Homo-oligomer: A and B are copies of this chain.
Amino acid sequence: MEIQLRVTFQPQGRSVFVLRGTMILEAAAHAGLVVETPCGGSGTCGKCRIQVMSNAGAPTSADKQKFSDQELRDGWRLACQNPIETDIVVFVPQASLFGGTHQILATAESSITKEVLPAIRKVYVELSPPTLEDDASDLLRLERSIGPFKADLHMVRHVSKTLRAQGFKGTAVLSDHRLLDFETGNTNGRCFGVAFDIGTTTIVGQMLSLRDGKEIGVASRLNPQVSFGDDVLSRIKHAAMRPENLDELRLTIIREIASMIDALCVENGISRENIYEATFAGNTTMEHILCGINPAQLGELPFVPTHTGGLLVPAVELGIPIHHGALAYIFPIIGGFVGGDTVAGMMATGMYGIKEPTLMVDIGTNGEIVLAHKDKFYAASTAAGPAFEGARIECGMRGSTGAIEKVIFDGDVRVEVIGNVIPSGICGSGLIDLVAELLSHGIVTPEGQLLPKEELPQALAPTFTRRLQSDENGETSFVIAEATPGKIVPPVLLTQRDIREVQLGSGAIRAGIAILLRNAGIKVSDLKTVLIAGGFGNFIRRSSAQRIGLLPAGIDHHRIRYIGNASLAGAKAALLSTEVRRHGEELARQVNHVDLSTAEGFHEQFSEAMIFPSMMDVQSDNAYGPT
């Protein structure tokens, strides 16, 4: 079994275990820290500066170009160039984190980084009170200090009393030149926002300081709408049935979001009234339901959304319990099944400005695939199914404590379990590992059949063969982890049906990638970078993903990069910069939305892709490419 190395990131205080040779950049992503890499991790831009606190390896030539000798002696390195060879502690300065530096990713044209300019601005003012000589109106008096603004009727009704009660001193809260509030005293330090990624299965919310972009806290929950069906189509069907159902679905998620915001407020000692803006990125169906827009037509050809432009609406109209005058920004949409989460991901990863052929795959309940090539963007969505999020799998679970997240066959079946406890299930990354190993050991055939004991390869060690069992219906399953003595914890199994789910999910993504490559007229080998986004419990092993055909085989490992929850990172960037929103709106309009269900040749590709690649295919790059 490969050695696991512990990497601890400071000042964030997060630890992860990684395999020897993993780049620091990837380990950071693994720990939920998205490090700046506008150059795409090529070691040229020098943005991913980190400090290895002890046992730093020898500096690379790229390091030598970016750091002084003293800095190199102090352990400063580029995160994208340095593999991890031992347990280390890494200091990640705020300036190296995406969105933490008052910078957004540069657009390719300008390569100029820009200031973060959130829509929310706080200004503490001390106005001179009115006199006979200066009888300007209250709003005009305020305008002289903070510049022109508009105010809602509610605000106009209360501003005079507030100004007088506070002796004409206080903090004006502006939302894009609209006066949100006038608060007692200097409240510049209390200025927060929340960014949400609304997934079909998972909701993640992050609270940020709008003053400096600092992360205040993060919360993650299961999307409670799963009780109405675990994929978007079942939600659409439910919502379309009766008008009350849409409201039911909407309130279900709104209540969960409200509860997450409450939890973040309590944990961090923050008042909801000091949260002045919220951003939301989700797939098209999730965004429609969140806004109370009936998604019925997303369930019928030609799958037309109501809107594609971003929405900026009063948070109170959505039912989001933050400042009573706050706005909520809902990400623009590309098409019926490529939503705001994809746009957010593209913004977060800087795909917007990338010139070289780049593929982004966001593996969730749906698999969204984006291909950038020659200033053009192609996007598609596949109904990958929730297998990789642990759903529809016999012993599947999300990547939380007790989940098997890594599986290696090295003479025996070795597993890693999140939290180092007795395993209670398997999450997406473990599942991919397991199927890859079963394929490589001939226990699963390329067609996806889990062989019964009597048909297994002769050479297979008994440690594997004894794990295969058949039930009374002749269904075969593979025991990953035995039950505990007395069966207090039941065994963790992989069933034939589970493998079919993996085939469906993997095949759909594989076929989708093939169609997009064909549309762009390029091959797998042309791809310079493959970005993997998604909320896996842990990151999948590249070799395993390539083994089962989920990722293109013909691309070097070092070109495959994990970017974590890119949708959340995009929602966060949009909270910190109205420029990001503007670019996102433009981007969403530019992307060619490819509807796979009606794309020529997709069904053939899909049937083919349901067959796992042979070992030969994996080694020879035949698994992908133009057909």
User: Could you list which residues of chain A lie within 8 angstroms of chain B, going by C-beta atoms?
Assistant: 130-132, 135-140, 151-154, 156-157, 159-161, 164, 291-294, 297, 301-309, 311, 313-314, 317-318, 333, 335-336, 593, 595, 598
Contacts and interface: CB of A to CB of B under 8 A. Distances in A.
A77 to B, nearest CB: 46
Contacts of A157: 291-294
B311 A135 contact: no
A130 B138 CA distance: 51
A302 B129 CA distance: 10
- Chain copies in complex: 2
Contact of A297 (B160, B292, B302, B314): B160
Contacts of A306: 137-139, 156, 159-160
Contact of A135 (B135, B151, B154, B593): B593
A443 to B, nearest CB: 42
A292 B293 CA distance: 33
A314 B336 CA distance: 33
| Residue of A131, A304, A313 contacting most chain B CB atoms (<10 Å) | A304
Nearest to A597: B132
A581 to B, nearest CB: 14
Given A160-B297, A309-B140, A335-B135, A153 B304 contact: no
Given A160-B306, A304-B130, A292 B139 contact: no
Given A136-B308, A156-B307, A161-B294, 20 more contacts: A130-B304, A131-B302, A132-B301, A132-B302, A135-B302, A135-B303, A135-B304, A137-B306, A138-B304, A138-B305, A138-B306, A151-B307, A153-B291, A153-B313, A156-B291, A157-B291, A157-B293, A159-B306, A160-B306, A164-B297
A593 B137 CA distance: 12
A177 to B, nearest CB: 13
A254 to B, nearest CB: 13
B294 A139 contact: no
Given A130-B304, A156-B293, A309 B139 contact: yes
Contacts of A335: 135
Contact of A302 (B130, B152, B293, B313): B130
* A-B complex: 4 closest residue pairs judged by Cβ atoms: A137-B308, A135-B302, A139-B307, A153-B313
9 contacts: A130-B302, A132-B595, A135-B304, A135-B595, A137-B308, A137-B333, A138-B307, A156-B293, A157-B291
Given A132-B301, A132-B598, A135-B336, A292 B140 contact: no
A392 B314 CA distance: 49
Contacts of A132: 301-302, 595, 598
A306 B160 CA distance: 6
Nearest to A598: B132
A568 to B, nearest CB: 23
A574 B292 CA distance: 36
Given A301-B132, A306-B137, A593-B135, A313 B152 contact: yes
B308 A153 contact: no
Contacts of A313: 152-153
A311 B140 contact: no
A317 B153 contact: yes
Nearest to A295: B160
A307 B139 CA distance: 5
Contacts of A309: 139-140
Contacts of A159: 306
Contacts of A154: 317
A164 B161 CA distance: 49
B291 A140 contact: no
Among A151, A292, A306: residue with most chain B CB under 10 A: A306
Among A131, A302, A598, chain B packs the most CB atoms within 10 A around the CB of A302
A594 to B, nearest CB: 11
A53 B56 CA distance: 103
A153 B302 contact: no
Nearest to A243: B161
Contacts of A138: 304-307
A43 to B, nearest CB: 41
A84 to B, nearest CB: 46
A342 to B, nearest CB: 15
A156 B292 CA distance: 9
Contacts of A293: 156-157, 160
Contacts of A137: 304-308, 333
Nearest to A589: B140
A302 B159 CA distance: 17
Contacts of A317: 153-154
A518 to B, nearest CB: 18
Nearest to A159: B306
A336 B161 CA distance: 16
A308 B140 contact: yes
Contacts of A164: 297
A248 to B, nearest CB: 15
Contact of A311 (B153, B161, B291, B333): B153
A308 B160 CA distance: 13
A111 B284 CA distance: 53
Residue from A138, A161, A303, A307 whose CB has the most chain B CB atoms within 10 Å: A307
A120 B28 CA distance: 54
A156 to B, nearest CB: 6
Nearest to A336: B135
A240 B188 CA distance: 33
A379 to B, nearest CB: 13
A598 B134 CA distance: 13
